[in-house]
Structure 1
Amino acid sequence: MINLYDTHKQHIGAITEAQLQFLQDSMEEESLEDQDYYLEPATLDYLEARGADGELLALLRGALGEHDGLTVRWNRSE
């Protein structure tokens, strides 16, 4: 299971391996160890256009809420 957290270390929700792979394939990573993504409304529109899973989009849209942008960090739990 992969857990998503915001910049305040608040748990946003859990995503699947496939959803994480989609994010990794769709988003820019600064290094191989990079585990965070900056999201803004246009980013979510981009992910939707690329065919993002509806549950993933709903989770990210809920986390973004009325914010202009949000950094989301993922962590794999065992």
Structure 2
Amino acid sequence: MTASAVPATGMKSARCPRCGNSFDCGRNTEPFDCWCKSLPALPASELDPRGRCLCPECLAAAAAPAAGAAHKGRRAMP
């Protein structure tokens, strides 16, 4: 197993509420160091403070529309 495949200290096994897949969640790591911090933030309309964390695939899919909307508002470079 490579170092990148080893979960960080404090990572817990979790189950995605959308698809049911299991994944490593770093929600309670100290200091916060989870794979999810590398993804764009979800829009407030997608957040549920009572909800559980999503797996990498579902979180990326949920964040994709928000990332696309942010890029639409920017002017393209000539």
Task: State the TM-score bracket (shorter-chain normalisation).
Answer: under 0.3
Q: Normalising by structure 1, what TM-score? A: 0.27
Q: Normalising by structure 2, what TM-score? A: 0.27
Structure of higher CA gyration radius: 2
Q: Which has the higher strand share?
A: 1
